[in-house]
Amino acid sequence: MGVASRYWQLVKIDAAGRRQVQAIARAKAFFSDVFSGIACGGHNAISTTGYAYADNNDVPDAEIQLQLVQLSRDAPADRCLLAQRCLLCFISWQIEQVCLQLETNFGIAHGFNCSDLLPYVLDDDGRLEPTGSYQCLSRKILQSFDPDQSSLTTWTTTKVKQYPALNQFLLESGLYLVSDWAILNDTRPKQLERIFREFYSLTPKEIEYFVIFLESYHLVYRAQRLQQRSLGIRGKCLPPTTQQLQEIALNIQSQSGQMPKSETVMAQLQKLASLLRQYRIHVRGGFLPTTSIDVLGKQSILNADVSNPGENEDEQADFLQLYRPEFLACLDQALAVVITSRVKQLLPKKGDKAQKFLTALQLVYCQQMPMTEIASRLELRAQDAVTRLLKLKEFRADVQQQLLVILRDRVLDLAKNYFDTGRLETLEDQISSALESHISTVIRDAKISSQTPQSIVISNLFSQQLCRYLDRINK
């Protein structure tokens, strides 16, 4: 059951990006005419103000939507458009509900709220007919809706979560809206080998371990999933059942000679999916999950073995004292490598490009100067010339890659003080993942700093170390 007014009130975004509700009089009049039993009092009466009464606001959505869909496809042109408009109004409310649910489930962890999402998905202007060739998301949803296959609420939810513009924003916030089980279903063993070798730098033994888990998962879970599809059974990928986990464990035993517990199988599959999720976020241009220096030291490395809590806390403190200066030293080294390489590339070019690059870098990160002012200061044609000179996205990515390579070796050396060689081998992937997360935090802060107006002072580790390095080489 739903609220009648949602069929003639449209949720939209105004020119300033604020949410507003627009009442569409013609849609209300049409709805009242078609559904006179609702509009003329009775159990679901509509008030003269255009809102359903608070104590009688339930209307049979499924029946109403089915009739409106039929009218939108079979009625004369004017009534067809009005039926569509009523459905589009309803869709706008459901789109907002999806965004609210995303905020509730992921907003705090990923730093966004509903108002950040709405501009990507609420682009309906409220007109009866679209102007031009552009088709808003609501119309795409309505056009593809089949009432015989699903409800309009379910279909809207599905299409919103699949919408590319919204997904790109969520990716940039470190959120990938695909279940662990769907990720594992469409990852091939050869693909897994390449990702873990090239992206995570895992050892052949570690890669073989995860491949066995993936292949065993495919033999049981994915095979049953494909069989269900062949029978016309569809739906979300649910977590493996206890029986499926036991079957997967038997397959793992046949390949490795070891019989893991069902709980271990579940934990390792989730870990595998998490690593693949982080990789997909990265290659699609998003940020990986992030942790601070302290969280890195406490949770990702030393807490791998907490048999003696008191001793472990002392080790955490010792490790952090060693880790902090190592991180800063490695960041300095990575900056030096990347900046030196970029300067060498620019030296042969005309117009003193190498020196202008160093100056522009200092103005962006140390003074937060706008690109237009930098262009004027360096006598460049326009701000796009500064953008091409700096290539900040590429610069940050190069520093990130260098830093990960250098820091990983240093941290593994530090970890030798806390774990024996055998234990350390099993922790290498956790250490690499934790370092990747921490470095991503630093690089993300650097991006924010470079885009911040001069009037707002943003201090972050990347900018501080970069400015110190530039000061040293300019002396």
Q: Is the pTM of this model over 0.75?
A: no
- Among 187-196, 203-212, 247-256, 365-374, the minimum mean pLDDT is found in 365-374
Tokens coding 30: 């049409």
Q: What is the average pLDDT across 258-271?
A: 91
Q: Where are the beta strands (DSSP E) in 49-187?
A: none
Tell me the C-alpha distance between 185 and 219, whole Å.
10
- Using CB atoms within 10 Å of the CB of residue 158, give its burial: 0 to 12 exposed, 13 to 18 middle, 19+ buried: middle
- pLDDT tens for each residue of 426-452: 556 666 666 676 677 677 666 655 554
51: left (phi over 0), alpha (psi -120 to 50) or beta: beta
Nearest alpha-carbon partner for 30 in 66, 84, 74: 84
Those residues whose C-beta lies under 8 Å from the C-beta of residue 472, and which sit 6 or more positions away, are: none
Question: What confidence score (pLDDT) does residue 248 get?
Answer: 95
Q: Is the dihedral of CA 447, 451, 456, 457 positive or negative?
A: positive
State what percent of residues in the chain have pLDDT above 70: 77
Tell me the C-alpha distance between 250 and 240, whole Å.
14
Q: Evaluate if residue 405 carries a pLDDT over 70.
A: yes
- Give yes or no for a contact between 412 and 359, defined as CB atoms under 8 angstroms apart: no
Q: Which residue type sits at 403?
A: L
